[in-house]
Structure 1
Amino acid sequence: MSTKDFVEKDYYKVLGVPKDATEAEIKKAYRKLAREYHPDANKGDAKAEDRFKEISEANDILGDPKRRKEYDEARSLFGNGGFRPGPGGPGGTGSFNFDLGDLFGGAQGGGGAGAGGAGGFGGGLGDVFGGLFGRGGATRAQPRRGQDIESEVTLSFTEAVEGATVPLRMSSQAPCKACSGTGDRDGTPRVCPTCVGTGQVSRGGGGGFSLTDPCVECRGRGLIAQNPCETCKGSGRARSARTMQVRIPAGVSDNQRIRLRGKGAPGETGGPAGDLYVVVHVDAHPVFGRKGDNLTVTVPVTLPEAALGGEIKVPTLGGPPVTLKLPPGTPNGRTMRARGKGAVRKDGTHGDLLVTVEVTVPQELSDTARDALESYREATVGEDPRAELFKAAKGA
């Protein structure tokens, strides 16, 4: 912003107050407008952010008696269209008490009074322009993305397989409710004099390059509280707890990390919200297990069923049982597959249910069962299931 543009800018009009407004009236008008146009209340609205910056600039000048006096004198000197010479003639000084050379040097990078200049003024209007706008004019503080949040949730085995919506309570930094995110008890923060509202400061780097860092004075906000809010200590941010309903997709695995974009902490100065990362823990199931998209289950079968074969019913997760055909001579530990009875995949299809056979040996026998087994043993005399084992052991 040039010196001419700055002086011609009517800050009284910006705040909607008359030129003879009292300090209380100026403060009241600024507080009302600042709350209305604050970036945290108008996320993503660049026009509102520009308007807030303009309001802050106006308050920074009119809210300070010394700067207001210098501003009024500057407008009296320049008028509404350009320089108006004082009694001293075209290059005269008139009776103003600020240094016009400093004014141009600070705001435009010029070299003091020249033709039509006013080297005889005393005071510090140049400091107003130089401190508030710098040489190249201030830019608004850059939008800052909110922090990412990580939380944990524990699901039952069935919820993990089928998906579930669960309440999740989290805590994060958010705009302070007590001061509407301004950091100021009265909602009237001032532009930071260190970074002149940009939220950033430059420092020299190697090879002629300039490096930019967040302003330490205002912590990158571009504003400083005149009367720090007791809740947030002037930061404009406070710890806030909230509960939200989170949809966990079907087929999630134990310790899987799910990312929910834009569900993290709110951003600053119109910046986007961070992300929410949910780490899922899954409780064990008393019957079913899981291998990727497949579910697993161990099914006991009797000796006759394993030897003679037949049909067995197998439970499924959340559905009716399925019937599997058991081939004659099924060994212990054999795994069969029930297709489409597993966990839900990302594409909506299902994995399989892997059924492992466990042949049970009876601990107690009835007389009839004992006689039947004795008959079986007599019928298989001469068969030695360990013969091949000893043969292989000798040959090794």
Structure 2
Amino acid sequence: MKRDYYEILGIDKSATPEQVKKAYRKKAIEYHPDKNPGDKAAEENFKLAAEAYEVLSDPDKKARYDQYGHAAFEGPSGFGGGGMNMDDIFSQFGDIFGSAFGGGFSGGFGGFGGSGQRRMKGSNLRIKVKLTLDEVANGVEKKVKVKRKVQARGVTYKTCSTCGGTGQVMKVTNTILGRMQTSSTCHVCGGTGQIIESRPHQADAQGMIMEDETVSIKIPAGVADGMQLKVSGKGNDAPGSNSIPGDLIVAIEEIEHDTLKREGENLHMDLYISVAEAALGVSKDIETVNGKVRIKLEEGIQSGKILRLKGKGIPSLNSYGNGDLLVHVNVWTPKNLTKEQRQFFEKSLTDENFVPHPEKGDKSFFEKVKDMFS
């Protein structure tokens, strides 16, 4: 079982953004690879702290984590936040460490100075995938075509002579405090430590070409509109022989259903019946996300009655079962009557059976509204 992100950073849910950042910096320095060379446990804690910070420092991800827990980031394709490697950590959060390690890191993970060479990560791509309510409820595998920037076949790189392959250039200046040495990203190679040696004619100046690729995305049941999935390694490539590709970020958009309305994991639908059906009782076939089901309406059913069909809603991302389908019964009053029908209802005006007699257990409209929002 995955550890709680708040526990990893040693904070509670009420922590401010500044407290989250401070807690992460403390953990990252404690478990940094430079302080714990060869310590696999420290490296794993270092990654866990970065993973927790990536989620809790982002208001949208934090809100989803607080609502769904780890399940909000653990679809088959991965929802943001999970499975970070050293390159992700140093490229995204390197500035948080400040001067704790002399302004740079060694070991070759993120390439912020030292003797290690920086591994460049390509840019992310973003697409939107529209899902029907049936697909949301049952999960689906979507194949999408994306246009990616990839390294051209035949492109070769060589070590940058300006920085010697480190991606950083050192500068020494004389100040009133003495000689000071600073480092900055190499302006020739852009920090990759490599420059192009040769490239095919169709490639751009960085050795890249555009290619179409069909990507398969497994979307788990229970996702919600606005959620984002991350497909690792399906973004743009970056230049350099030791670079890693970016990710494909997939935004989920729900297509509105004709009759079913979603509210979290529950579904709502309006069922209209005639006065005769309400008086006599009737069986009705209704549509659910798992096919049609037959329900029986007892005779004398009142307009506003809500029937709850257990487990006929949307699955929970946390695997806590399914929501329910709430059927709202509405008795349809006819607007155009024949002469015979009008006479029937006129005679019924004084009939005892047609005089409203709400039972003690019948809830008013306002009580039903209150129950829905409680």
Equivalent residue, structure 1, for 2:160? 192
Q: Which residue of 2 aligns with 1:105?
A: none
Contact 2:140–2:218 (8 Å) recurs in 1? yes
- 2:169 alignment counterpart: 201
Question: Is residue 354 of structure 2 the alignment partner of residue 354 of structure 1?
Answer: no
SS at match of 2:292: coil
Query: What are structure 1's unaligned runs of at least 5 residues?
Result: 1-43, 45-137, 183-188, 386-396
2:286–2:292 contact (8 Å) kept in structure 1? no
One-letter code of the match for 1:294? N
Which residue number corresponds to residue 221 of structure 1?
192
Query: 2:260 matched to 1:288?
Result: yes
CA deviation vs aligned residue, 1:235-262 (integer Å, no higher than 9, x gap) = 2333332111111221222232222334
> Whole-Å Cα distance in 2 between the matches of residues 381 and 340 of structure 1?
37
How far off is 1:377 after superposition?
A: 0.9
Moved more, 259-268 or 278-287: 259-268
Paired residues for 1:58-69 under 5 Å = none
CA-to-aligned-CA distance 1:239-286 (integer Å, 9 cap, x gap): 332111111221222232222334333455434433221012222222
- Runs of 4 or more consecutive aligned structure 1 residues displaced over 6 Å after TM superposition: 204-209, 381-385
CA contact (8 A) 1:314 1:324 kept: no
Unpaired segments ≥5 residues, structure 2: 1-84, 86-113, 358-374
Corresponding letter in the other structure for 2:224: S
Structure 1 counterpart of 2:225, one-letter code: D
Deviation sequence 1:358-382 (CA, Å, 0-9, x none): 2101234455544432231131599
2:347 aligned counterpart, secondary structure: helix
* Shift in Å, 1:300: 0.5
Partner of 1:144: 120
**Equivalent position of 1:345 in the other structure:** 316
1:320 aligns to what SS in structure 2? strand
**Bigger-Rg structure (1/2):** 1
Please report how far the alpha carbon of residue 322 of structure 1 lies from its aligned counterpart in structure 2 after TM superposition. 3.2
Q: Is the 8 A contact 1:143 1:269 kept in 2?
A: no
Q: Secondary structure, in 3 states, of the residue corresponding to 1:378?
A: coil
Tell me what 1:245 maps to: 216
Where does residue 155 of structure 1 map in the other structure? 131
- Look up the SS of the partner of 1:375 in the other structure: helix
1:68-83 pair list within 5 angstroms = none
Identity of aligned residues (%): 26
Query: Given residue 272 of structure 2, which amino acid in structure 1 is its aligned partner?
Result: P
Rounded to whole Å, the distance in 1 between the matches of 2:203 and 2:354 is 89
- Alignment partners' CA distance in 2, 1:203 and 1:334: 78
Counterpart contact for 1:142–1:269, Cα < 8 Å: no
- Separation of aligned partners in 2, 1:234 and 1:226: 11
1:167 lines up with 2:143 in the alignment: yes
Q: Distance in 2 between matches of 1:293 and 1:224?
A: 52
1:379 aligns with one of 351, 354, 357: 351
Report whether the alignment pairs 1:302 with 2:262. Answer: no
Equivalenced residues, count: 240
Q: Deviations over 1:115-147 (max 9, x none)?
A: xxxxxxxxxxxxxxxxxxxxxxx9463222232
**SS at structure 2 position matched to 1:259:** strand
C-alpha spacing 1:311/1:272, structure 2 compared with 1 (3 Å): same
CA distance in structure 1 between the partners assigned to 2:302 and 2:245 by the alignment: 59
Counterpart of 1:174 in structure 2: which amino acid? V
Could you tell me how far apart the structure 1 residues matched to 2:234 and 2:212 are?
13
Structure 1 residues 204 and 276: CA distance shift in structure 2, 3 A: farther
Query: What residue number does 2:90 align with?
Result: none
Give the partner amino acid of 1:157.
Answer: L
2-side partners of 1:190 and 1:272: how far apart? 17
Q: Provide TM-score, normalisation by structure 1.
A: 0.52
Corresponding residue number in structure 1 for 2:369:
none
- Residues 73-126 of structure 1 show CA distances to partners (whole Å, capped at 9, x for unaligned) of xxxxxxxxxxxxxxxxxxxxxxxxxxxxxxxxxxxxxxxxxxxxxxxxxxxxxx
State the partner residue of 1:320: 292
RMSD (Å) for aligned C-alpha atoms: 3.4
- 1:373 to 1:265, Cα distance in 2 relative to 1, 3 A: same
SS in 2 for 1:374: helix
Distance 1:279 1:351 in 2: 23
**Post-superposition shift, 1:311?**
4.8
Deviations 1:279-327 (A, max 9, x none): 1222222222211111221101122443565654433223231314447
